[in-house]
A and B are shown apart, each in its own frame.
Chain A
Amino acid sequence: KNQVEQSPQSLIILEGKNCTLQCNYTVSPFSNLRWYKQDTGRGPVSLTIMTFSENTKSNGRYTATLDADTKQSSLHITASQLSDSASYICVVSDRGSTLGRLYFGRGTQLTVWP
């Protein structure tokens, strides 16, 4: 069964600190992995997309890594800001269907305190 599991479910950190969010998936055949940021009451916004051949990608203070062999990904946030408070969703796409089916994790709820 194709699944995406994220940990931790929630995380509280102080402003300026770093943190790392984890994503494990069983989606096969794998096409790409995405990290989205979803603010409360808003739609998800893409942070990074990585294909099979990419093992790291950065977007400002966000750095995503991908290990396609172990089917794990992480999202590292550097020097956190209050505006980083949001849900971070890991999404994996398969290449076994014409739809390019997306499998969503439940997200990690990050809270940054001043």
Chain B
Amino acid sequence: EADIYQTPRYLVIGTGKKITLECSQTMGHDKMYWYQQDPGMELHLIHYSYGVNSTEKGDLSSESTVSRIRTEHFPLTLESARPSHTSQYLCASSEGVGVVKTYEQYFGPGTRLTVT
């Protein structure tokens, strides 16, 4: 099992609240990712990071923001939660980015967010 952790696992929160989803890994990986997944649908990349102080937006537009102050930590923040943010959020990390060499992506257990 991969050493990548997410908290909380489940969160039910009211509209307008600020929330932070935590993600940490102990593998020393430089590359970290946030995905959003709705039931029965594919994963969509919403944020990624190549390393400390590096953050980029992914393919799916998201109102969330991320930060990477430490290698092991990659939190995701929603300033004002809305029902449309209800989804599963998955964090992942990898040792490198595979163009010549293939790198595994390790996923955390996910956070199931429900905004009422």
Interface residues of A (CB under 8 A from B): 4, 31-32, 36, 41-46, 49, 51, 89, 93, 95, 98-102, 104-107, 109
B40 touches A44 (CB 8 A): no
Interface residues of B (CB under 8 A from A): 2, 4, 6, 40-45, 48, 90-92, 97-99, 102-110, 112
Given contacts A43-B90, A99-B48, A106-B42, contact A93 B98 (CB under 8 A): yes
Given contacts A41-B110, A95-B99, contact A102 B42 (CB under 8 A): no
CA distance A43 to B105 in the complex (A): 11
Please name all residues of chain A whose beta carbon is closer than 8 Å to the beta carbon of B42 when the two chains form the complex. 4, 89, 104-107
Please name all residues of chain A whose beta carbon is closer than 8 Å to the beta carbon of B110 when the two chains form the complex. 41-43
B107 touches A43 (CB 8 A): yes
Interchain CB contact (< 8 A) of A98 among B43, B97, B103, B106:
B97
Interchain CB contact (< 8 A) of B99 among A100, A105, A109:
A100
Interchain CB contact (< 8 A) of A46 among B6, B104, B112:
B104
A49 touches B102 (CB 8 A): yes
A32 touches B98 (CB 8 A): yes
CA distance A49 to B40 in the complex (A): 23
